[in-house]
Chains A and B, each alone.
Chain A
């Protein structure tokens, strides 16, 4: 039993369903005689119901990738640096062996495609700082990167394939600045397009493919620029995107 008179706290306890049956009955008797309070309490009950209608669907949504329980920060940092060190070591070893080859063009291409893959591994897991300039400032991004590369670069639009532009950043390449554009699909899957200037303005190559530690890379040279599209998706899917990129850049 609750003590009379009925308090504001009692009324809220009634709304929240935390009163024993007997006390709830007391409140109901009180409300039957106090129509203003009754209207107020009915409205509070409706608020709770509306909150559940509006926000309960979130409980059943699939979690975005970034909310999978992260490893402790230090562990992720260690893993990331380990990944970078491993990539650099791989690059070094590959570079050492490839040094012996005479086919210099191929060596160069392999090296920069690897750099593109490293850049993908380093930046694509970033949540807050994935890009330096976001897609909202696309025009500025493209002007800035074109200016720094000394060549006209474009950010292809891949919306038809489900990927939207996240933004881009400037990176150091083996022989000057390079650009990286990042794309993301609805599930948070990210692709990066790495663009560098090619020493030979007239050289063109077919698509080449390489795969290192789960990262697939299609790379090609076209119109004085080298492109490498990296992603952790399967080869046919990545090829579809690479083809779309190529077509957009060569309308």
Chain B
């Protein structure tokens, strides 16, 4: 049990980084990490010893995230304001501006594209690992990655003509 806790603990900073980029909100992100840790610990018997613990934890987090998106449990606005204030104090000005731009740009991506883009670009999962975490075929990973990057480029360049509601299978 102590060994397991140490193994999981190692992964928490990366889970937080991913959750923060995914949700665009510090407290929502930590809620997501916390839910992930709790679910991981209650289901630990399902983890095959020696298999990739990081991918397993990210898979759990992804499933929780998708369920939350589906049931529209994101009370975003209230949390965002207080959170933004906290971050404004913590982060120096230029970084803060970039973070805010990036946050709002990422928020304009459909979550299917955002997850792929972040798992590959930020978390450096291979395409195969990302496919396993997201439980989708690798071809779908590639097409979402391609569309996600193109959309993010357009949004950051100030082109909002790309439909945010485009559904990508």
Contact = CB atoms under 8 A, between A and B. Distances in A.
Contacts of A47: 117, 121, 149, 152-153, 156
Interface in B16-32: 16-17, 20-21, 30
A54 B41 contact: no
B42 A48 contact: no
Contacts, number: 93
Interface string A36-73: 00001001100110111111111111011011111111
Interface residues of B, number: 41
B41 A8 contact: no
Given A8-B146, A12-B142, A50-B98, A44 B16 contact: no
A137 to B, nearest CB: 11
B37 to A, nearest CB: 6
A58 B41 contact: no
A15 B142 CA distance: 13
A204 interface: no
Given A48-B121, A51-B121, A67 B38 contact: no
A50 B150 CA distance: 15
B47 to A, nearest CB: 14
A67 B61 CA distance: 14
B93 interface: no
Contacts of B13: 58-61, 63
B126 A67 contact: no
- The A interface, classified by DSSP as helix, strand, loop or mixed, is helix
Contacts of B41: 69-73
Contact of B16 (A52, A58, A70, A73): A58
Contacts of B34: 66-67, 70, 127
A59 B33 contact: no
Given A9-B142, A69-B9, A127-B34, A16 B98 contact: no
B12 A67 contact: yes
A55 B98 contact: no
Contacts of B37: 67, 69-70
Given A18-B127, A44-B149, 9 more contacts: A16-B124, A18-B126, A47-B156, A48-B121, A48-B122, A67-B16, A67-B30, A70-B38, A72-B42
11 contacts: A18-B126, A40-B150, A47-B152, A47-B156, A48-B121, A48-B122, A54-B102, A58-B20, A64-B30, A73-B38, A136-B78
Interface of B: 5, 8-9, 12-14, 16-17, 20-21, 30, 33-34, 37-38, 41-42, 78, 91, 95, 98-99, 102-103, 117-118, 120-122, 124, 126-127, 142, 145-146, 149-150, 152-153, 156-157
